[in-house]
Chains A and B, each alone.
Chain A
Amino acid sequence: MEISIIRFPGTNCEVDTYNAVKKVLGTTSTILSCKDTVIPRSDLIIIPGGFSYGDYLRSGAIAAREPIMSDLIKKAKNGVNILGICNGFQILTECNLLPGALLKNSTLKFISKITNIQITRNDTFFSKDYDKNQSVKIPVAHHDGNYFVDQETLRAIEENDQVAMRYAEPINGSLNNIAGLYNNSFNILGMMPHPERAIDNQTGSNDGIKLFQSMLKSMSL
């Protein structure tokens, strides 16, 4: 089971993500620099949260054009599983691996709190340990989490059941309360909530464990 985590200047959740993988999956992962041009063979690539390049230009815009991204895009298209958390989600939309864009929160506030999230489906690489439509508590911490896409694409996303999770109530202006999204082949998940911050009840919730357990189960099959 090979897991790679990509770090950009300004990424700040790579160690939490590494620790969550180690705790739940019982394996060490490799933290790669965005200046690398080749990602070693991986069963899962994680783009962790943070503020790559200080959110200059647009969140994720500079990171999405870094050298490592060509190989990531190639691997994504070959079916390698990719998880983008928070800034990772923004980067995945900026390189067109996921549709749409993440705008500034409609409240203009940075939102940092444990949030009620509904997991929509439980038959993907990332979700098989959850129940269908399960309500969970996972923290969010973002300024640009307001999901936007044109109406036609939004309809297609909903018809294909690509919405991975929704906020239980509106928090940031996201269309259809979208908090997480799959690509149309379901090997890529982008999500604003931070599952790596919800693996121990001491921090308020351990509902993120199941996401990591789901991935472990999927990779062990």
Chain B
Amino acid sequence: MKARVFIRLKSEVLDPQGQAIESALKNLNENNIKNIRQGKLIEMDIEAKNVEEAKKSIENITVKLLANTVIEDYKIEIE
């Protein structure tokens, strides 16, 4: 199975990278884009009996290592 973990800074955490991207877009005259937030996508293969079990394992490694829940939220997708 393929798993994807989307990680992004919590909404209350300032994202200077997102702001820098936004200012670059302004330089390109793309003025209708606002509130850019940059995150991470981590993809992996996982061996599991079913989606439920895969999700549980991925959740476990996400909390243990992939995301820092002090500053980040995450979303898991399995297919």
Binding site for B on A (CB under 8 A): 57-58, 61, 65, 93-94, 99-101, 103-108, 146, 148-150, 173
- A104, B71: Cβ atoms closer than 8 Å: no
Contacts known (A61-B65, A65-B65); A108 close to B16, Cβ less than 8 A? yes
| Complexed CA–CA distance, A100 and B69 (Å) | 10
Q: Is A108 in contact with B14, judged by CB distance below 8 angstroms?
A: no
Main secondary structure of the interface of A (DSSP, over half): loop
CA A65 to CA B13, docked complex, whole Å: 24
Beta-carbon contact of A103 and B20 below 8 Å? no
Residues of B with C-beta under 8 A to A99: 70
| Nearest-neighbor residue (CB-CB) of B40 within chain A | A57
Quick check: is B68 within 8 A (CB to CB) of the other chain?
yes
- Give Cα A103 to B13, complex, Å: 9
How long is the Cα–Cα vector from A104 to B68 in the complex, in angstroms?
14
Q: Which residue of B lies closest to A96 (CB)?
A: B70
Q: Which residue of B lies closest to A173 (CB)?
A: B14
B70–A108 contact, CB under 8 A? no
Q: A61-B65, A65-B65 are in contact. Are A100 and B16 (CB under 8 A)?
A: no
Among B16, B20, B66, max chain A CB count under 10 A is at B16
Q: Given known contacts A61-B65, A65-B65, is B16 in contact with A149 (CB within 8 Å)?
A: no
Q: How far, in angstroms, from A104 to B66 measured CA to CA in the complex?
A: 17
